[in-house]
Structure 1
């Protein structure tokens, strides 16, 4: 049998040679924000159920919702809603067959990230 020389190389893209693209990061963030919004929905549902249960239980739930944890969850949720909304609009644009060039897709990705932060700040100021 012949001797086979094996080449030492990674079998798949490795973090040393692979750099995540903005388009992949924005796609992953869209999925993360969609799932993270479930935490806020559960917190709001729990708060409403506590309000319907008893004053003591509502006081406990309200203390959690108005604590630093609750405020952090809702602040993140404001950003997640705006990000998810803008990413959805970008996706609809892609579905129309437009903006699929790499440069355009990257610009739209940056627009979604920057737009979601700006809209979050505006929402916090107005509310």
Structure 2
């Protein structure tokens, strides 16, 4: 039987009532930072491979990595690495059955953002 009211219904009603949450946002950011860390790892591998091949190959990628954009990329990659690590730690805590309450989970999500920023600043000071 044909559905005659198909055009009158919304296609995605959950999008009109869904409110983004800290836990879903931090979970999405863990995935994004995982991809960013992979990309940064490829640049570091490229840098190391160029160092092992020739001085000309190394000077090109080394110049890029030491430029202001390379510094910005390494800073963002450091933040992404710390954030991703804290996100994995949060999931390990959840796997053990701890901190599953909504209020605590939201505080842990906020703590991941703050913790990654503090650890990045600490890393930049020490390194």
If the length of structure 1 is used for normalisation, what is the TM-score? 0.87
Name the residue aligned to 2:13: 12
1:53-92, aligned counterparts within 5 Å? Answer: 53-92=53-92
Structure 1 stretches of 4+ moved >6 Å: 4-7
Q: What RMSD in Å do the two structures reach over aligned CA positions?
A: 1.8
1:30-109, aligned counterparts within 5 Å? Answer: 30-109=30-109
1:54, 1:73 → 2: CA distance?
Answer: 24
2:5, 2:33 → 1: CA distance?
Answer: 47
2:82, 2:47 → 1: CA distance?
Answer: 23
1:5, 1:35 → 2: CA distance?
Answer: 42
Shift of 1:68: 2.1
2:13, 2:38 → 1: CA distance?
Answer: 33
CA gap 1:11/1:62 in 2 versus in 1, 3 angstroms: closer
2:88, 2:36 → 1: CA distance?
Answer: 16
CA gap 1:8/1:64 in 2 versus in 1, 3 angstroms: same
Shift of 1:11: 3.0
Question: 1:83-102 CA distances to partner (integer Å, 9 max, x unpaired)?
Answer: 11111111111001111111
Which 5+ residue runs of structure 1 have no aligned equivalent?
none
1:105, 1:37 → 2: CA distance?
Answer: 24
